[in-house]
Every structure is written in C-alpha cells, then in structure tokens.
C-alpha cells in the first residue's frame, strides 16, 4: 500500500499542472451545474462540455507523457460518454 502512495505522490509532482488544470475544470463544472440547476438544456450542454474537456485533457496528458495509444484514447471517450449517460439519466432525470 505504501508503494501505491509513493507512486501517486511521484505522479502528482511530475504532472502537477495537468492535474491542477483537470481539478479546476471539475470545480467549474460543478459550480456551473449548481448555477443552472433546473435548466435542462443548459445542464446537458455543461455536462457535454465537461465530457469533451475530459477527453481533450486525457489526450493532452498522454501526448505530454509520450504514451498516446488508440486504446487509451478510446478508453477516455468511452469513460466520458459513460459518465455523460450515467449523470444524465440517473442523477439529472
């Protein structure tokens, strides 16, 4: 377990800007969802924009690391749209 925490610390130090950018985007996403609560179309557009941001961020992060693979990019797209559908149909009915 200690090895896992050491690896996470190393990763966070190495790519602090990337993760700060992602966390900032996530905070703005949550604030925007809260600000436009009840506006169905705007909620969906905000959610779609965050999923797009997540996919682009993932591509950027792996380009910087030189670990870009089609499988990894498809994983980001799949997870992004899975989050989109789960939030759209389960959390925001």
Question: How do residues 36-49 score in pLDDT, each as one tens digit?
Answer: 988 888 989 999 99
Residue 92's pLDDT band (cuts 50, 70, 90): low
Q: Where are the domains of the chain?
A: 2-91
pLDDT more than 90, % of the chain: 54
Greater pLDDT, 93 or 76: 76
pLDDT tops 80 at residue 18: yes
Buried b (16+ CB within 10 A) or exposed e, 62-91: eeeeeeeeeeeeeebeeebeeebeebeeee
Question: How do residues 48-64 score in pLDDT, each as one tens digit?
Answer: 999 999 999 999 999 98
């Amino acid at each position: 377990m200690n090895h896992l925490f050491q690896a996470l610390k190393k990763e966070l130090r190495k790519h602090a800007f990337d993760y700060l950018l992602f966390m900032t985007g996530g905070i703005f996403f949550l604030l925007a969802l809260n600000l436009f609560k009840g506006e169905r179309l705007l909620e969906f557009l905000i959610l779609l924009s965050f999923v797009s941001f997540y996919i682009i961020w993932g591509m950027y992060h792996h380009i910087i690391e030189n670990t870009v693979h089609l499988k990894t990019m498809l994983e980001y797209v799949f997870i992004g749209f899975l989050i989109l559908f789960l939030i759209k149909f389960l959390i925001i009915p």
